[in-house]
Amino acid sequence: MSAEADGRPWPWLPDGFTPAVRMGLSIAVAVGLYGISFGALAVTAGLDVWQACALSALMFTGGSQFAFIGVIGGGGTGAAAWAAATLLGVRNGIYGMQIKALLRPPARLIPVMAQFTIDESTATATAQDDHDERVRGFWTAGLGVYLLWNLFTLVGALAGDALGDPRQWGLDGAAVAAFLGLLWPRLRGRDPIAIAVVAAVVTALTLPLVPPGIPVLIAAAVTAAWWAIRRSGGTP
């Protein structure tokens, strides 16, 4: 019986380790570990340990954080770094609208949920078919990634140069694998597969041409336009 059916407007606790909880936990571990890379790179870019930790605690969106330290590390100004981070953070606002419509949370929780609305929590929630499972997936992934991302940001920042190049540890691959694990079950039918192929091609073509993080936004814009044309009955 769902929470809506038995009169509970918001299912706070899962009944054991449901599929959504297991998915959220696995994503949290895979992505949270990548915080080591951010912490190490942030210190290398010139931030101190507590500045790196503050970025993870307050900004908490990996793409924006890496864009921020990339600009700072390249000698850019704080304003330029903030602009780059904000540009990449636009997607979180879109996620927020989607999650609000999908989960229908109580108004008092919306400000709290905004902090945990990231790629992983949104993907985990939307991958579920049941309302309660969507809620569990959102909170498990959101809180799990937040806690582990901040913990391993601290670890990476303290370790600093001792880690060497964080990419040699394969942590970036773990994050990619986590996203593929979420995406693969959703590719059912011609249109989802076509959208995934278009996004992959656009991303691959733009990677050498624009700053890190921007290819994802370009791919999103192209696929959104492609999907709008399809929905209107046209031919992309």
Per-residue pLDDT of the chain (236 residues), as tens digits, is 444 444 444 444 445 688 899 999 999 998 888 888 889 888 888 889 999 999 999 999 888 888 788 778 777 777 778 877 887 788 888 899 999 999 999 999 999 999 999 989 999 999 898 999 999 999 999 999 999 999 999 999 998 766 666 556 655 555 555 556 556 666 677 777 777 788 888 878 887 887 655 676 777 778 778 777 777 765 55
Q: What is the length of the chain?
A: 236
CA distance 89 to 218: 14
28: Cα within 13 Å, side-chain hemisphere: 22
How far apart CA 166 and CA 43 sit, in angstroms, is 12
**d(C-alpha 130, C-alpha 195), whole Å:** 24
CB neighbours of 124 closer than 8 A, spacing ≥ 6?
20, 23, 24, 27, 137, 138, 140, 141, 182
Helix (H) or strand (E) holding 55: none
23 within 8 A of 50, measured Cβ to Cβ: no
**Are 125 and 135 a contacting pair, CB within 8 Å?**
yes
What is the C-alpha separation between 111 and 236, in angstroms, rounded?
38
Q: Give the ranges where the chain is alpha helix by DSSP (H).
A: 19-32, 35-44, 49-54, 62-73, 78-103, 110-116, 119-126, 131-159, 171-183, 190-206, 214-231
Residues 36-67 pLDDT 10s: 888 988 888 888 999 999 999 999 988 888 87
